[in-house]
Amino acid sequence: MICELRTGRGRYTIVPESLHSKSKTNVRWEKYQEIREYEGNLSLDVGKVALSAALTIIYPGQGKRDEYCTAIAGILLKNSDWTEEQIDLFVSRIAEAANDDVKERSKKGTTTSKTDRKFGVNKISELTGYSHRSIQGLFNWIGIFQEMTNQISNDMIEKIVEYGADRYYVYLNVPEKDQIFKRRIIVNGTTLMNQKLFYEAAMSQARAWLPRQKAKDFETMMVAKFNAREKSKDYVKEAEEDYKFKRMFLDYLDTKGVYTDKEQLFIHKLPYYNPKNSTIEFDLNNFEKELAKIKVNMARVDLVIKVQNILKAENYHGKYQEKSCASWKIQGEKFDSKKIIWEGESVVVENQAGKKDE
């Protein structure tokens, strides 16, 4: 036991000349001045004394002390209303009691507040070998139980990396016995936003038991991590919905052909290439029918939106031999008499007879 606060029912206080219940001796004052009411928050202040004593007892050896003090400061900065100066003083007194270099640790609250990454429970557990639950129990003495739960979750969920369309890697720091293992789970956006689904994914994929948070705290944490997400170097662009739609359109051009004779567009509704301005004109109804053949069905309004936003096409009211020839038009690059380039893809151009140029 580090300290004991004797107050409330079931406890008692003795005064000088009382007989001690175990030693059968009389209790006397070691030093007496006066009895007066304590003006501060007794439970909190005793908790601070107990916490500082415990953190001094488990103070690590050389090479680990700076990170240890940084982690203490990080926990207090994230989970309490203490000022930087109060944290500076708290950490420096622990360092002094542990016979450490007080000067090196005296500004931990101030300096840690200015860094992007703040160590927390994971780091103290790693440096001391004590479990997360034990570390949490120490900080519970100053009344930040829920805050500590949030801190543990925040430390366990290291980062989010976007891997592809609606697919995310979530990197976790998973404690097992006295070690921390780095593991990765794969989730979609729905799972990221749903606390229950995310907890289940963490357990099933990484055997990670995340402490239960309040829904609001979970959302606040995940929003921050999502906004700070990285994009994987191996990002699967082919999985993007925009990319898939572009590929379907290019397959349509490849299947139907792209002709330099506008008659093909006017009569047969086939894609037409204008060599003068390097544009492709196509019939939306014909494209829609081709999509239906491969069992891609979407509302007309959604198809128009994709054509406008993804293909960057515009509704064009052109003519053929003075007759109306409405179509959708997209811009391509100049061709080398055999093919044109659209969105980085080669599209073969066919001649008026419908044969590919040689």
Q: What is the pLDDT of residues 195-212, one digit of tens each?
A: 999 999 999 999 998 887
Place 30 in a pLDDT band, splitting at 50, 70 and 90. confident
The answer as to whether 5 is a domain residue is no
Task: Please give the pLDDT value at position 335.
Answer: 57
In a domain, 253, yes or no: yes
Same domain, 219 and 121: no
Say which range, 147-161, 246-260, 293-307, has the weakest mean pLDDT: 147-161
How far, in Å, CA of 110 to CA of 79, rounded? 15
Which of 324, 333, 241, 316 minimizes the C-alpha distance to 282? 316
Q: Token digits for 299?
A: 């509302």
Same domain, 168 and 224: yes
Cβ distance 175 to 84 under 8 Å? no
In this structure, is residue 1 part of a structural domain? no
**Is the domain of 341 the same as that of 325?**
yes
Here the tokens at position 191 are 């799972």
Phi, psi of 350, rounded to the nearest 5 degrees: -105, 150
* Average of per-residue pLDDT across 293-316: 90
pLDDT attached to residue 155: 87
Kindly report the average pLDDT of the chain as a whole number: 85
Q: Is residue 301 part of a domain?
A: yes
Strand ranges inside the chain, DSSP E: 157-164, 167-176, 179-187, 230-236, 258-259, 272-274, 279-282, 314-320, 323-331, 339-342, 345-350
**Are 231 and 327 found together in one domain?**
no
Higher pLDDT pick, 149 / 194: 194
Query: In the β-sheet with 167-176, what is the strand arrangement from edge to edge?
Result: 179-187, 167-176, 157-164, 230-236
Residues 6+ apart with CB under 8 A from 224: none
The answer to whether residues 130 and 210 belong to one domain is no
Compute the distance between CA of residue 335 and CA of residue 260 in angstroms, rounded to an integer: 12
Task: Please identify, among 143, 171, 200, the residue that sits at the C-terminal boundary of a domain.
Answer: 143
Does residue 263 form part of some domain?
A: yes
Alpha carbon 98 to its chain's center:
37
Q: What is the pLDDT of residue 43?
A: 80
Q: Does residue 82 lie within any of the structural domains?
A: yes
Residue 137 lies in a domain: yes
- What is the reported pLDDT for 118? 67
Q: Are residues 245 and 343 located together in one domain of the fold?
A: yes
Ordered DSSP codes for 138-193: HHHTTT-HHHHHHHHHHHHEEEEEEEETTEEEEEEEEEETTEEEEEEEEE-HHHHH
> Mean pLDDT highest for which of 4-18, 171-185, 237-251?
171-185
pLDDT value of residue 163: 85
Would you state the pLDDT for residue 343? 66
Domain that holds residue 88: 42-143
Q: Are both 170 and 232 inside the same structural domain? A: yes
**Predicted pLDDT of residue 109:** 85
Same domain (yes/no): 207, 293? no
- Do residues 254 and 225 share a domain? no
Looking at residue 81, its pLDDT comes to 83
Predicted confidence (pLDDT) at residue 177 exceeds the cutoff of 90: no
- Give me the pLDDT at residue 341, please: 67
User: What is the percent of the chain where pLDDT is above 70?
Assistant: 88
The residue type found at 265 is L
| Closest C-alpha to 148, from 213, 98, 62 | 213
- The answer to the question of residue 30 being in a domain is no
- pLDDT bin (cut points 50, 70, 90) of residue 238 is low
Q: Span 182-200, mean pLDDT?
A: 93
Are 219 and 285 within one domain? no
The mean pLDDT of 278-287, rounded to a whole number, is 92
pLDDT of residue 355: 46
Q: What is the pLDDT of residue 265?
A: 93
* CA separation for the pair 254, 250 (Å, rounded): 6
Distance CA 267, CA 137 (A): 79
Tens of pLDDT, residue by residue over 110-159, are 888 887 666 888 899 999 999 887 888 888 888 775 666 777 788 899 99
Q: Give 144 or 88, the one with higher predicted confidence.
A: 88
**What is the reported pLDDT for 332?**
74
More confident residue, 358 or 101: 101
Q: Domain total for the chain?
A: 3
Taking the complete model, does pTM exceed 0.75, yes or no?
no
